[in-house]
């Protein structure tokens, strides 16, 4: 099968290539960095490929899709352009068996955002089970590495920003303070919440890795479930999944204060969910690699499903 990455020199594109280059079961088409803006060459490769990964800004992704005229070319997009579009399949197979089947048969798949992935994995099963009411006022916080900001932010951090003792980049920084982060529409739609969550992300001076957290007040949940009931609902939802796991209570108790390391899943396509707190106040946490399950790894996982291959081919659990 022929595969082409349009935008292969960006952060996500490089991550996809890194995973594909380890394999011998695919014909990876490529374009030199000097010719990456050669429209004719790009169009030729996109229409020659069986699978095209789009690793582009939103508008460029929309334009690229319009250039694909081969009806047999299937597309996996990593931008936010199509994540809530009704003609595109949301690329999170762990949502349900039906979602995995839809991805397998899809011609167009949109890869979730990294923050949205963590949020949806925590919240979707609780809404579906009825534990979390659709009208619950959900809030979410995310701690993430600076690679999620793309080339511009990476350059700011790595051109001396971290080493400068007077630089604000040495310290965690809240952003999207207007509370209109671009992942919010998919966070609401995919979880079937009635309202968008209040979401505040924080970027830190490590390259990749992230932890998303959601606090819940159990007296506002259906039938006031306890900590173990919430844990059981999440554990049941992801039972048997290769890349999403709910850590047992014993593992959570072993985490010392302040030691929920956001980089512990780096280099993998795994996502780990923690259920902490007590029967009155519950804290959900989801840890993943924002460049793995949060982008490039998720894209390759979707490709494997679409091509009928081993879902974990080229990916680390």
Which CATH number applies to 114-290: 3.40.50.720, 3.30.710.10, 3.30.43.10, 3.30.360.10? 3.30.360.10
Q: Please determine whether the domains at 2-112+295-306 and 114-290 fall in the same fold group of CATH.
A: no
Q: Strands 210-217 and 271-277: what pairing? A: unpaired
Checking if the pLDDT of 304 tops 90, the result is: yes
Model pLDDT for residues 233-257, shown as the tens digit of each residue: 999 999 999 999 999 987 777 676 6
Q: Domain residue spans in the chain?
A: 2-112+295-306, 114-290
Q: What is the mean pLDDT of residues 90-114?
A: 98
Instruction: Residues 2-112+295-306: name the CATH superfamily.
Output: NAD(P)-binding Rossmann-like Domain (3.40.50.720)
The DSSP symbol for 194 reads S
- What pLDDT is recorded for position 168? 78
Query: What whole-number percentage of the chain has pLDDT above 90?
Result: 83
Tokens coding 87: 């003609």
Segment (H or E) for 250: helix 249-253
pLDDT given for residue 52 in this prediction: 98
Structure tokens at 177: 């303070």
Which of the following is catalytic: 55, 114, 204, 286? 114
Q: Is 140 a catalytic residue?
A: no
With contact defined as beta carbons under 8 Å apart, do 4 and 54 qualify? no
Q: Where are the alpha helices (DSSP H) in 69-209?
A: 97-105, 114-129, 150-156, 184-191
User: What average pLDDT does this structure show over 142-151?
Assistant: 91
Which helix (DSSP H) or strand (DSSP E) does residue 288 occupy? strand 281-288
What dihedral angle (degrees, nearest 10) is formed by the CA atoms of 52, 12, 201, 238?
Answer: 60
Q: Is 212 left (phi over 0), alpha (psi -120 to 50) or beta?
A: beta
pLDDT in tens, 282-299: 999 999 999 999 999 999
Q: How far is CA 267 from the centre of its chain?
A: 14
């Amino acid at each position: 099968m022929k595969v082409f990455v349009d935008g292969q020199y960006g952060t996500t594109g490089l991550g996809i290539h890194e995973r594909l280059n380890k394999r011998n079961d695919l014909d990876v088409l490529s374009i030199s960095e000097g010719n990456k803006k050669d429209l004719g060459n790009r169009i030729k490769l996109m229409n020659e490929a069986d699978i095209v990964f789009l690793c582009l800004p939103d508008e460029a992704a929309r334009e690229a899709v319009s250039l694909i005229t081969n009806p047999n070319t299937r597309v996996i997009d990593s931008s936010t352009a199509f994540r809530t579009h009704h003609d595109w399949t949301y690329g999170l197979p762990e949502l349900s068996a039906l979602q995995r089947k839809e991805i397998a048969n899809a011609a167009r798949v949109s890869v979730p955002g990294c923050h949205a992935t963590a949020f949806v994995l925590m919240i979707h099963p609780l809404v579906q089970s009825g534990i979390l009411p659709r009208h619950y006022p959900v809030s979410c916080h995310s701690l993430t590495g600076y690679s999620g900001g793309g080339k511009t932010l990476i350059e700011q951090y790595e051109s001396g920003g971290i080493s400068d003792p007077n630089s604000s980049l040495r310290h965690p920084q809240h952003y999207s303070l207007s509370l209109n982060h671009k992942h919010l529409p998919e966070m609401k739609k995919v979880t079937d919440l009635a309202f968008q969550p209040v979401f505040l992300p924080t970027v830190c001076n490590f390259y990749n890795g992230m932890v998303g957290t959601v606090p819940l007040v159990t007296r506002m949940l259906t039938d006031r479930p306890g900590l173990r009931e919430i844990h059981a609902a999440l554990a049941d939802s992801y039972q048997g999944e290769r890349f999403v796991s709910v850590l047992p209570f014993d593992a959570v108790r072993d985490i010392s204060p302040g030691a929920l390391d956001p980089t512990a899943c780096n280099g993998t396509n795994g996502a780990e969910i923690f259920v902490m707190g007590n029967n009155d106040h519950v804290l959900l946490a989801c840890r993943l690699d924002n460049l793995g399950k949060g982008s490039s790894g998720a894209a390759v996982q979707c490709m494997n499903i679409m091509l009928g291959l081993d879902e974990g081919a080229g990916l680390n659990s």
